[in-house]
Amino acid sequence: MTEYLDVDDGTIAYEVAGSGPLVVLAHGMGDSRAAYRAVVPQLVAAGHRVAAVDLRGCGESSVDWPAWSRTAIAGDLLAVIRHLGGPAVLVGHSVSGGAATIAAAQEPSLITSVVELAPFTRKQSIRLGDLRVKRFREAMLRLLGAGALGSLPLWRSYLDMAYPGVKPADWTERLGRIDSLLREPGRMKAMRGMGRSAPADAGARLADVRCPVLVVMGTLDPDWADPHAEGSAIVGALPSGLGRLELIEGAGHYPHDQFPDRVVELVLAFLRSDAARA
């Protein structure tokens, strides 16, 4: 059942299932909390209370917002965690990975650990050699086109690349839901706003994080010419010993949707090791 939380400048939609330690799930741009539909039941079964959030402008959240930065998104996520009586494990995908970094740095008492799935958490720079990687070159062109033109066909074309090989069993329904949401007034504006928002604000806070961080990258993620190098750079920018990188072979930019069982396995193992250290 959808619940709503009024925050500064708008309303955030979310749903909660299960009982136990709180885990908050945040999706990427142009998406909704449905991205975690295969993850939520497994985390609940493992003994967690799970809140899946629609980012500002996405899903069932309100559409008119003054900012789309990772810092703004982090504020929304922290508001949800406070409302639900945190602290929480915060899981963020893509743009929300950077937001999770900022949230953990801003409110360390509210965030026990962070999981970043294919995160955009650092300032990005493209080298000439990167353009020689076909999947990266083609995905970048489709992403840039979707953002510049607000084109749903180009976004769907990008998603096809972002899910290399393995597609979810409900892929047709998944695309239909995304298409339907982005046709609603204001939803494409939100996606384009997030796409234009640089991750420099998140990168600037990596050294301020004080909780354990798990970074999960797909080996075939087309958003980077070298996903392993990007994940390693994020871990390297965190305080020593806090970060861990895991790679999922064959996954693209949506590892939690392509390989939800593996992602849940990694998350639960990470949380158990974190608890053991504590």
Q: Which long-range contacts (CB under 8 A, 24 or more apart) does 82-87 make?
A: 82/110, 83/5, 84/16, 84/22, 84/24, 84/49, 84/51, 85/22, 86/22, 86/110, 86/111, 87/22, 87/111, 87/112
Give the residue-averaged pLDDT of 231-251.
97
Give the integer Cα–Cα distance in Å for 206 and 68: 20
Stronger pLDDT, 127 or 26, i.e. the higher one: 26
For residue 247, is pLDDT > 60?
A: yes
Give the integer Cα–Cα distance in Å for 111 and 59: 24
* Paired strand residues for 22: 49, 88
Nearest CA-CA partner of 100 in 115, 87, 86: 115
Can you give the CATH number for the domain in which 136 is found?
Answer: 3.40.50.1820
For residue 277, is pLDDT > 60?
A: no
Q: In terms of DSSP H, where are the helices of the chain?
A: 40-45, 70-83, 95-106, 134-149, 152-162, 171-182, 187-196, 200-203, 227-237, 255-258, 260-277
pLDDT bucket at 19, cuts 50 / 70 / 90 = very high
Which 8-state DSSP code applies to residue 251?
Answer: -
Nearest CA-CA partner of 36 in 117, 139, 157: 117
**Six token digits for residue 249:** 């072979």
Strands 111-117 and 3-7: unpaired
Q: How far from the centroid of its chain's Cα atoms is residue 257's Cα?
A: 12
**Number of domains composing the chain:** 1
**pLDDT tens digits for 37-95?**
999 999 999 999 999 999 999 999 999 999 999 999 999 999 999 999 989 999 999 99
For residue 260, is pLDDT > 90?
A: yes
Predicted local distance difference test score (pLDDT) of residue 112: 96
Nearest CA-CA partner of 25 in 67, 5, 1, 54: 54
Instruction: Identify the three-state secondary structure at position 53.
Output: strand
Stronger pLDDT, 257 or 128, i.e. the higher one: 257
Give the integer Cα–Cα distance in Å for 171 and 238: 36
Domain that holds residue 57: 3-277
* Terminal alpha carbon distance of the chain: 34
